[in-house]
Amino acid sequence: MTLKNNQTFRDALSAFPSGVTIVSTTDEKGRHWGFTASSFSSVSMNPPLVLVCIANTADSHAAFVKAQRYAINILSQEQKDIAMHFARKGVDKFGPHAFRYGTDDNPHPPMLPGSMASLVCVARDVHEAGDHTVLIGEIQDVELGEATPLVYYNRGFRNLELETADSLA
Ligand SMILES: Cc1cc2nc3c(=O)[nH]c(=O)nc-3n(C[C@H](O)[C@H](O)[C@H](O)COP(=O)(O)O)c2cc1C
């Protein structure tokens, strides 16, 4: 089968449900950067590696390519508004939201309370791939929360029904 057009590709991707994250970092001047991302994936267990893809056109692209550390905050159902806010360009992203920031004594990327989990990553690799850049990070620290995850499917946010269809155990 050949790819008829871009729309077919987009439609196929929209058939894949995913979680939603906010990827965040603080640059050497103390400025905070972040964007909403559903391209998050695990890569390796040993060492523990994950990836996220960032568009080359993102305003935060340069900051993430240079970042030595970033956090991947996996969003809960209660964080739809934050997901939308961090998908907007040219807004004050961090002002309206209560992130926990690093200090001189304890430097870390911005962490979002109320998330399902916040993964603190050390940057391991950066790959250019088409119009996106793949950021590969090694997990240094994990903070787990308790909530219900936010799901993105067919171009919209969905509520997850926590019903076990079939267990692998
Ligand atoms: C549900 C959802 C998922 C998204 N996933 C990604 C993604 O994986 N990578 C990406 O670069 N942009 C993604 N975006 C778009 C960015 O969040 C958006 O372009 C953002 O404005 C980029 O931030 P910046 O340009 O201020 O840096 C997503 C948006 C939404 C609503």
Distance of CA 89 to the CA centre of its chain: 16
**169: CA distance to ligand 1 center in Å?**
35
Summarize pLDDT for 70-114 with one digit per residue, the tens: 999 999 999 999 999 999 999 999 998 899 999 989 999 999 999
Residue with tokens 């309206």: 96
Ligand 1, residues 33, 36, 50: which to mutate, most atoms within 8 A of Cβ?
36
> Domain locations in the chain?
19-153
Q: Which residues line ligand 1 (CB under 6 A)?
A: 20, 35-39, 53-55, 58-60, 83, 86-89, 152
| pLDDT reading at 5 higher than 80 | no
Q: Phi-psi category of 165—alpha, beta or left, where left has phi over 0 and alpha has psi -120 to 50?
A: alpha
Summarize pLDDT for 148-167 with one digit per residue, the tens: 999 999 999 999 887 777 87
**17: CA distance to ligand 1 center in Å?**
16
**How confident is the model at residue 161, as a pLDDT?**
83
Residue 99 is encoded by which pair of tokens? Answer: 């992130």
> Measured between alpha carbons, how far is 48 from 45 in angstroms, rounded to an integer?
4
**36: CA distance to ligand 1 center in Å?**
5
**How confident is the model at residue 162, as a pLDDT?**
79
pTM of the prediction? 0.95
- Largest CA-CA distance found in the chain, in angstroms, rounded: 56
| pLDDT reading at 1 higher than 60 | no
Fold of 19-153: Pnp Oxidase; Chain A (2.30.110)
